[in-house]
Every structure is written in structure tokens, then in C-alpha cells.
């Protein structure tokens, strides 16, 4: 009888431990953004212009190159940084100069920024400069968005069409 | 009662202080568990074995679930819902098994790591098991986290986004992986095929590393006792029915999984990415793993010289190899022309100098008449001859009635005693013939063997081998002529010095009431037994 009681007690202890583990497997819940808010995400991958212009090799320079590796022009690999700004309701919430990726600086620039905002209507403006110009912007989009609770609102850029998209 | 400080417990460094607190905590928890479960079934002494046990449950339940699982953005979630709700009493239970056994693996792993750390069982040549345990942590977490992605519910969406943001912080990937999870249309079904592959391949690699983890120890516990395994299985069934593992609503990339029920065993750091930032979480992980990775080599380094074989006294019986807890002794072909097929060979890189091999060697008898006491395998820093001398010296301080000599493990509670106590690296270093020697030479009226707690033996098998030798169940046996009532054993952690004191006091009182001892020894009583005389080892010549 004592043995049975002992085994029963052992079972109770093990089951209680397992029950605690099971409870902790999804409790307590975690809220990553405040109630009634959503996330505005600015994210894109885009390569700016190269830093320098390509230069055509002279026929003599081409002739000096190995026959199987001849190139007609010399292009610098490194790209310019991309400058980007994001305004919400006329207030600037993000501005950055995005350096190109890659060891040689020849990869695309990339941005992945999230902003937690309360639900509501917002005037959004996003601008980007990806050329050698010192002032102004090459791409810009403005719009009014309805921002719902828990919404993921994404501002992306499509290099193939050269425009920002809101989704 | 005179006591000395025990080196392990008086380390002033931070790590030593943390270890002492942890050891105290485990000591407080383990004793009630010992009483309820017995020392054999105590789950805290079966953590590694339970880890393997839960791995197999996860593997079997995972194979079962895979029968129902369908890859695809829509189909992944639907197939998991189908198996959970429509086949609740087999596939649903299996899903709960899969999740809860995975969580229990984390529990076993963390407690196992903390316990080994608290017992100081990770330094010296033990670095291997400690160090190979670190990739197990990473692989177990990678296995669990990839599993959560497969369900493709809101939690999976959260896990996918945070995991990929963490990975994107590393300068490895050209395009941010996290961009795949911020809007619909960017994710394809091939992603789930990749995750299924990862969720199978990573656990397989985990099993491989778990095997490496236990390579350097002998008799690793890979299966828990049957009763414990059965109770655990029944408890898992009960918990799976009481609280089945469920999904948290289908993932929707157009919305934010604002509130999720986190698995706090696998995802405790995920909320920190939002508070600290991804870089800080990586820095924390890097610093943490660098620290625990280097811990085996941090001071104070203790490295006694490894055991050495004396071929002139080794007959190749293999008892030392059989008893070594670290696979440090191998039997190799005889090299000295003696008429024995094998001889013992010590691998110095595996030897922790516990002396258990000395206690196992049939040549280790203090009765030997040779001037320079030799045995087949010995510790250069603490030879059998030194042990015999210390026993004689300690015994010379005893006074009748009830003279009790204590053979104490340096990692146990009695290591701090000063009175008539001989401290050893492990009590199993003392051959049973040493106790015979003490009693038959009338050096003491009784002997207390005081080692580590039963389930916390610093050298893994020292307590077990000592018990079996004294019970005359394991070679070398305690000789039949030695009265067992004159030997007491006490197994206690360094925090249980009170238990040791009371056991020794009770035993001394018990011994004092016993009639004079008459061992049936064919040999004359030596001068060592005569009180008031100097006792030199050379005088202690008796039966061999």
C-alpha cells in the first residue's frame, strides 16, 4: 500500500511539473505592439548609381589585355549611397544615407525599418535620392493612408518601375 | 569539532560564489526528491537520460505528425489544424507530445547544465563534455524554432519575422530575409519544403552531437529507469489531454501578430529583440557562450598528475579499466614479457586523477610487506603509500573508546573535518583492504566512509563502486572477516555537514558499545596497534 501511495505521489509530482511546462509553452502571452496600433514598415533593396562614369578603353589598351579577357570599358564597381526620408503627417520620422552592401561597396543599399503607430489616418511622404545629384530627390511618393489596428503597412520600392508602392 | 576550509567552497571569485549558491539550491531540492523517488529514480540524477528519452519521444511523434503534414502556405496551417482537431486522440495527442517533450528537453538541458556547473564537473579533462554540450544548446533551439515556423499560425509568423530580423542583423545575407514576411505574395510554398528539411536535418545533427557529448564517459546514462520512463509517459498523456497543443490562428502577413502566446522555453529572448535591439541580443548571446565556453579553462585550474601504471605489479586483470568513470584506461597487449595477455594503459588526457583505479587494483593492499609500498596503478601526487601513511597518522590521534577513522571524499561534507580524517580525491580510491588494514591492525574501532551525495558524486561512480565493494558485490570485495557493523557510510553534499557530524557521532557511540574486535587474522598484531608508540610504515608488515 505504501508503495502504491509512493508511486502515486511520484506521478503527481511529475505530472505537476509537466503541467507547468505545458502552461509555460504558451503563457503568459506577449504583446509586441500596444493595443490599437500597427506597424508601418519602410523596406526596400535598391542599388544606386555607380560612383564614377564608365571610361572606354582605347584600342591600344584593349590590345594589351589578355585575348580571352578583353573588355571595352572600365567601370568603377562602387555604388553611391542612397539617401531616403520618410515623413508622417508632415513630421520627419526617418532619414538615412544607406551605404551600399558588399566588401567593395558594389551591392544594393537596403533598408528595413519599422515604426509602431496608433491606428488612424496619416499623410505619408517618402523620398529617395539614388543619383549623383546633391539636392532634391529622384523618387517621391505622397499619399493618405488609413491605418487599422494591427495592420502591417509596407512602403516598398520597385526598381523595375522606379516607384514607391504602398501596400 | 575541528574543521578546515574546503577549497571548492571558499573560492572568492564570482563564478565560485554562483556555484556555491546553485549547489545549495540543488541540495535543498534534491533531498526531498531522493526521499520521494528514491536515489535511483530521482529525476534530478537522470537529467541526461531524460533528455535522451524526450528526444526519442519528439522523434517518434514528429514522424507520426509528418504523415499528416502538408507543405504550402495555406495547406501547412490547414493540415496542422486537421490533425489537431479531427484526429484529436491520436494525432492531436502526438502534437502535444511533440511540443511538450521538446519543451521538457530544454528543461532537462538547462537544469543538467546548471547542475554540472554547480557540482564543478566541467573543468580539467572534463572540458570535452562541457564544450560539446554548447552546440547541443544551439541545435536544440534551432530544431524547436524551425518547428514553430511549420505550423504557420500567428506565433509562426512572429517567430519567422523576429528570427529573420535577427539573422539579417548579421552581415551574411545580401537581401533581408525578413522582407519575405512583411507582405503577402512574397512567400512561396517552397519555403515550407525548406523548413521541413531543416526541421529534420537539424535534429539528426543534434542527435549526432549528443552522441559525441557522451563519448568520453563510461557507462553514460542514456535511458532513464523504467519506472521513471513509464511515469513520465503517463504524465505526458495526461497533460496532453488536459491541455492539448493548439495553433494560434492562421498567419496573415497583412497584419501584425500583435499578441502571441510565446513558448517561454524556446523563445525567451525574442521579446528582448524589441527592447534591446538585435545587435544587443547577439552581443548577449556571444558574450554568454564565450564565457561558458571558456569556463573549463578559467582559474583556479586544478590538474593533478594522471594515474600511472606500474607493470611490475599489474597482472592485466582489467578491474581498473572496468571501474574508471572516464574511459581513461584501456587494456593493451602486454609489453614487458610477463605471462599475461594484457596490461593497463592510461590516457593522460582523459584521466581526472580520481584514484578510483587505485581502489580497484587487487595489488592495492596496505598489508604489503615491501618497504616502498607499490601497486599496479597509482596516483603520483597521492600514492597508496601516502594514503597508508596518512591513515596511520590520523589514527594515532584517536583515543578509546569508540575510535572512529573517517575516509572522506574531498568533494563531500566531511572534507572539512580535521579530527582523524583522511581526505581522498574520491572515497573509491580507498581499496576495501585499507579498511581491513585499519580494523585488523587495531588502528581504529570503526571506519566511516564519507563521500558525496548519492546522486551527486563528483567522480560519477565513486559512491556506487564503494557501496558495491563494501557489500561484497564488486571486485575488489571487502573480506568476509571484516565486520560490516564497524563500517558506516554517509553520503552528503558539502552543505550537509550536520548530517555527517551526527552520523559519525552516532556511529562512534555505537562502536563504543560493541565488544572488543577479534579479527580472524592469521598474522600477528603489529607494533602499529600498540598505543604510545611511533608507528612507521615499515613496521606495519602483515598479511599480503
Strands B377-378 and B446-451: unpaired
Q: Are A96 and A127 in contact (CB under 8 A)?
A: no
B100 with A25: Cβ contact below 8 A:
yes
Say which DSSP state A146 is in.
E
Using the predicted structure, report yes or no on whether residue B379 has a pLDDT greater than 80.
yes
Which of A89-122 are b and which e, b meaning 16 or more Cβ less than 10 Å from the residue's Cβ? eeeeeeeeebebbeeebbbbbbbbebeebeeeeb
Q: SS3 for B338?
A: coil
* Confidence band, pLDDT 50/70/90 cuts, at residue B73: confident
> Nearest residue on chain B to A106, judged by CA atoms?
B174
Q: How far apart are CA B368 and CA B370, in angstroms?
A: 6
Q: How far apart are CA B383 and CA B374, in angstroms?
A: 8
Give kind and range of the element (H or E) at residue B116: helix B93-118
Q: Are B92 and B243 in contact (CB under 8 A)?
A: no
* Confidence band, pLDDT 50/70/90 cuts, at residue B267: very high
* Mean pLDDT of the B510-514 span: 91
* Confidence band, pLDDT 50/70/90 cuts, at residue B1: very low
* Confidence band, pLDDT 50/70/90 cuts, at residue A60: very high
Among residues of chain B, what percentage have pLDDT more than 70?
A: 93
Q: pLDDT value at position A65?
A: 92
* Confidence band, pLDDT 50/70/90 cuts, at residue A52: confident
C-alpha cell at A85: 526620408
* Mean pLDDT of the A89-101 span: 95
Residues of chain A contacting B248 with CB distance shorter than 8 Å: 26
Q: pLDDT value at position B540?
A: 36
Using the predicted structure, report yes or no on whether residue B208 has a pLDDT greater than 80.
yes
Q: pLDDT value at position B410?
A: 93
* Mean pLDDT of the A23-37 span: 96
Q: SS3 for B317?
A: coil
- Each residue of B217-227: pLDDT tens digit? 899 999 999 99
Q: How far apart are CA B202 and CA B66, in angstroms?
A: 16
* Mean pLDDT of the A31-53 span: 93
Residues of chain A contacting B263 with CB distance shorter than 8 Å: 24-26
Fold of A33-51+80-166: Immunoglobulin-like (2.60.40)
* Confidence band, pLDDT 50/70/90 cuts, at residue B544: very low
* Confidence band, pLDDT 50/70/90 cuts, at residue B532: very low
Lowest mean pLDDT among B118-127, B164-173, B185-194, B254-263: B185-194
A21 with B100: Cβ contact below 8 A:
yes
Q: How far apart are CA B108 and CA B44, in angstroms?
A: 9
Strands B342-346 and B329-333: antiparallel
Measuring CA to CA, which residue among B151, B181, B152, B148 is closest to residue B164? B181
Q: pLDDT value at position B64?
A: 97
Residue B385 or residue B515, greater confidence: B385
* Confidence band, pLDDT 50/70/90 cuts, at residue B530: very low
Beta bridge partners of A86: A94, A126
Which of B38-54 are b and which e, b meaning 16 or more Cβ less than 10 Å from the residue's Cβ? eeebbbbbbbbbbbbbb
> Nearest residue on chain A to B244, judged by CA atoms?
A22
B231 with A32: Cβ contact below 8 A:
no
Q: pLDDT value at position A121?
A: 96
A22 with B239: Cβ contact below 8 A:
yes
A22 with B96: Cβ contact below 8 A:
yes
> Nearest residue on chain B to A8, judged by CA atoms?
B231
B239 with A33: Cβ contact below 8 A:
no
Q: How far apart are CA B455 and CA B453, in angstroms?
A: 6
For residue A167, the distance in angstroms to the closest alpha carbon of chain B comes to: 8
* Confidence band, pLDDT 50/70/90 cuts, at residue B16: confident
Using the predicted structure, report yes or no on whether residue B204 has a pLDDT greater than 90.
yes
Nearest to A11 among B231, B257, B262 (CB): B231
Nearest to B238 among A15, A33, A41 (CB): A15
Q: pLDDT value at position B319?
A: 97
Q: Are A130 and B233 in contact (CB under 8 A)?
A: no
Q: pLDDT value at position B523?
A: 52
- Each residue of B348-378: pLDDT tens digit? 999 999 999 999 999 999 988 777 899 999 9
A14 with B232: Cβ contact below 8 A:
yes
- Each residue of B109-125: pLDDT tens digit? 999 999 999 999 998 88
For residue A101, the distance in angstroms to the closest alpha carbon of chain B comes to: 7
> Nearest residue on chain A to B273, judged by CA atoms?
A32
Q: pLDDT value at position B74?
A: 86
Q: How far apart are CA B230 and CA A45, in angstroms?
A: 55
The distance of Cα A62 from the centroid of its chain, to the nearest Å, equals: 42
* Confidence band, pLDDT 50/70/90 cuts, at residue B423: very high
Say which DSSP state B532 is in.
T
Give Cα separations from B141 to A154, B63, B163, B498 (angstroms): 30, 19, 12, 42
> Residue by residue, what is the 3-state secondary structure of B168-233?
HHCCCCCCCHHHHHCCCCCCCCHHHHHHHHHHHHHHHHHHHHHHHHCCCCCCCCCCCCHHHHHHHH
Q: pLDDT value at position A158?
A: 92
Q: How far apart are CA B91 and CA B83, in angstroms?
A: 5
Size of interface A-B (CB pairs under 8 A): 126
Strands B404-409 and B446-451: parallel
C-alpha cell at B486: 564497524
Give Cα separations from B61 to A16, B66, B85, B131 (angstroms): 22, 9, 16, 29
Task: Considering chain B, tell me which residue range(s) the CATH 1.20.810.10 domain(s) occupy.
Answer: 46-297
- Each residue of A144-159: pLDDT tens digit? 999 899 999 999 999 8
* Mean pLDDT of the B57-81 span: 95
Residues of chain A contacting B165 with CB distance shorter than 8 Å: 112
Contact residues for B159 (Cβ-Cβ < 8 A; gap 6+): B145, B148, B149, B267, B270
Interface test with chain A among B34, B38, B182, B276, by most A beta carbons within 10 Å: B182
Q: Are B349 and B419 in contact (CB under 8 A)?
A: no
Provide the residue count of chain B: 544
A29 with B165: Cβ contact below 8 A:
no
Nearest to B176 among A7, A17, A43 (CB): A43
Using the predicted structure, report yes or no on whether residue A75 has a pLDDT greater than 90.
no
Q: pLDDT value at position B212?
A: 97
A14 with B253: Cβ contact below 8 A:
no
Contact residues for B213 (Cβ-Cβ < 8 A; gap 6+): B129, B132, B133, B136
* Confidence band, pLDDT 50/70/90 cuts, at residue B299: confident
Residues of chain B contacting A21 with CB distance shorter than 8 Å: 100, 103-104, 107, 239, 265
Give Cα separations from A66 to A43, A62, A63, A69, A70 (angstroms): 43, 9, 8, 5, 6
Q: Are B460 and B442 in contact (CB under 8 A)?
A: no
- Each residue of A125-151: pLDDT tens digit? 999 999 988 889 999 999 999 989 999
- Each residue of B123-165: pLDDT tens digit? 888 899 999 999 999 999 999 999 999 999 999 999 999 999 9
Using the predicted structure, report yes or no on whether residue B99 has a pLDDT greater than 80.
yes
CATH 1.10.8.50 fits B46-297, yes or no: no
Q: Are B446 and B400 in contact (CB under 8 A)?
A: no
Q: pLDDT value at position B304?
A: 85
Lowest mean pLDDT among B320-329, B368-377, B387-396: B368-377
Q: pLDDT value at position B521?
A: 54
DSSP character string of B228-255? HHHHHHHHHHHHHHHS-----SB--TTB
Q: SS3 for A57?
A: coil
Using the predicted structure, report yes or no on whether residue B14 has a pLDDT greater than 90.
no
* Confidence band, pLDDT 50/70/90 cuts, at residue B462: very high
Amino acid at each position: 500500500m505504501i508503495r502504491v501511495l509512493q508511486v502515486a505521489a511520484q506521478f503527481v509530482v511529475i505530472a505537476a511539473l509537466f503541467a507547468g511546462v505545458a502552461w509555460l509553452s504558451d503563457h503568459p502571452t506577449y504583446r509586441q505592439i500596444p493595443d490599437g496600433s500597427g506597424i508601418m514598415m519602410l523596406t526596400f533593396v535598391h542599388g544606386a548609381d555607380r560612383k564614377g562614369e564608365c571610361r572606354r578603353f582605347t584600342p591600344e589598351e584593349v590590345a594589351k589585355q589578355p585575348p580571352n579577357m578583353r573588355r571595352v570599358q572600365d567601370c568603377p564597381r562602387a555604388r553611391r549611397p542612397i539617401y531616403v526620408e520618410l515623413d508622417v503627417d508632415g513630421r520627419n520620422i526617418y532619414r538615412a544615407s544607406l551605404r551600399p552592401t558588399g566588401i567593395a561597396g558594389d551591392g544594393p543599399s537596403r533598408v528595413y525599418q519599422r515604426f509602431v503607430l496608433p491606428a488612424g489616418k496619416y499623410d505619408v511622404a517618402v523620398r529617395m535620392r539614388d543619383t549623383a545629384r546633391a539636392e532634391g530627390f529622384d523618387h517621391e511618393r505622397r499619399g493618405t493612408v488609413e491605418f487599422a489596428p494591427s495592420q502591417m503597412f509596407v512602403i516598398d520600392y520597385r526598381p523595375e518601375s522606379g516607384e514607391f508602392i504602398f501596400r | 569539532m575541528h574543521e578546515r576550509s574546503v577549497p571548492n567552497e571558499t573560492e572568492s571569485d564570482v563564478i565560485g560564489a554562483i556555484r556555491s549558491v546553485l549547489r545549495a539550491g540543488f541540495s535543498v531540492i534534491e533531498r526531498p526528491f531522493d526521499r520521494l523517488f528514491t536515489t535511483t529514480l530521482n529525476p534530478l540524477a537522470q537529467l541526461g537520460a531524460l533528455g535522451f528519452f524526450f528526444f526519442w519521444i519528439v522523434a517518434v511523434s514528429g514522424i507520426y505528425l509528418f504523415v499528416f503534414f502538408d507543405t504550402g502556405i495555406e495547406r501547412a496551417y490547414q493540415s496542422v489544424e486537421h490533425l489537431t482537431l479531427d484526429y484529436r486522440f491520436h494525432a492531436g495527442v502526438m502534437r502535444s507530445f511533440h511540443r511538450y517533450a521538446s519543451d521538457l528537453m530544454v528543461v532537462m538541458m538547462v537544469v543538467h547544465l546548471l547542475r554540472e556547473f554547480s557540482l564543478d564537473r566541467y573543468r580539467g579533462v572534463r572540458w570535452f563534455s562541457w564544450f560539446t554540450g554548447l552546440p547541443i544548446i544551439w541545435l536544440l533551439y534551432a530544431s524547436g524554432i524551425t518547428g514553430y515556423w511549420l505550423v504557420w499560425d500567428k506565433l509562426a509568423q512572429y517567430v519567422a519575422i523576429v528570427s529573420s530580423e535577427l539573422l539579417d542583423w548579421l552581415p551574411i545575407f545580401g537581401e533581408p530575409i525578413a522582407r519575405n514576411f512583411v507582405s503577402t505574395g512574397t512567400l512561396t510554398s517552397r519555403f515550407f519544403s525548406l523548413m521541413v528539411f531543416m526541421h529534420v536535418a537539424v535534429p539528426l545533427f543534434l542527435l549526432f552531437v549528443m552522441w559525441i557529448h557522451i563519448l568520453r564517459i563510461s557507462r553514460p546514462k542514456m535511458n532513464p529507469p523504467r519506472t521513471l520512463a513509464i511515469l513520465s509517459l503517463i504524465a505526458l498523456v495526461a497533460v496532453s489531454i488536459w491541455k492539448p497543443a493548439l495553433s494560434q490562428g492562421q498567419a496573415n502577413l497583412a497584419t501584425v501578430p500583435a499578441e502571441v502566446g510565446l513558448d517561454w522555453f524556446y523563445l525567451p529572448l525574442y521579446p528582448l529583440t524589441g527592447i534591446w535591439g538585435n545587435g544587443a541580443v547577439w552581443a548577449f548571446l556571444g558574450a554568454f557562450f564565450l564565457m561558458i565556453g571558456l569556463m573549463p579553462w578559467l582559474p583556479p585550474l586544478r590538474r593533478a598528475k594522471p594515474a600511472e601504471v606500474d607493470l611490475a605489479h599489474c597482472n592485466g586483470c582489467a578491474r581498473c579499466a572496468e571501474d574508471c568513470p572516464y574511459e581513461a584506461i584501456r587494456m593493451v597487449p602486454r609489453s614487458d614479457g610477463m605471462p599475461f595477455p594484457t596490461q593497463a594503459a592510461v590516457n593522460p588526457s582523459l584521466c581526472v586523477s580520481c584514484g578510483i583505479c587505485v581502489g580497484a587494483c587487487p595489488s592495492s593492499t596496505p598489508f604489503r610487506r615491501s618497504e616502498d609500498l607499490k601497486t599496479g596503478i597509482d596516483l603520483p601526487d597521492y600514492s597508496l603509500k601516502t594514503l597508508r601513511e596518512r591513515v596511520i597518522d590520523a589514527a594515532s590521534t584517536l583515543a578509546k573508546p569508540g575510535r572512529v577513522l573517517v575516509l572522506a571524499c574531498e568533494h563531500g561534507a566531511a572534507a572539512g573535518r580535521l579530527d582523524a580524517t583522511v581526505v581522498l580525491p574520491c572515497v573509491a580510491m580507498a581499496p576495501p583492504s585499507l579498511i581491513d588494514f585499519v580494523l585488523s591492525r587495531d588502528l581504529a574501532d570503526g571506519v566511516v566512509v564519507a563521500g558525496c551525495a548519492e546522486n551527486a558524486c563528483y567522480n560519477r561512480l565513486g559512491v556506487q563502486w564503494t557501496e558495491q565493494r563494501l557489500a561484497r558485490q564488486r571486485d575488489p570485495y571487502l573480506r568476509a572477516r571484516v565486520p560490516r557493523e564497524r563500517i558506516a557510510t554517509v553520503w552528503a553534499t558539502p552543505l550537509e555537514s550536520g548530517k555527517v557530524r551526527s552520523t559519525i557521532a552516532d556511529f562512534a557511540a555505537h562502536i563504543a558499545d560493541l565488544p572488543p574486535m577479534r579479527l580472524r587474522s592469521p598474522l600477528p598484531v603489529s607494533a602499529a596497534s600498540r598505543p604510545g608508540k611511533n608507528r612507521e610504515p615499515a613496521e606495519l608488515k602483515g598479511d599480503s
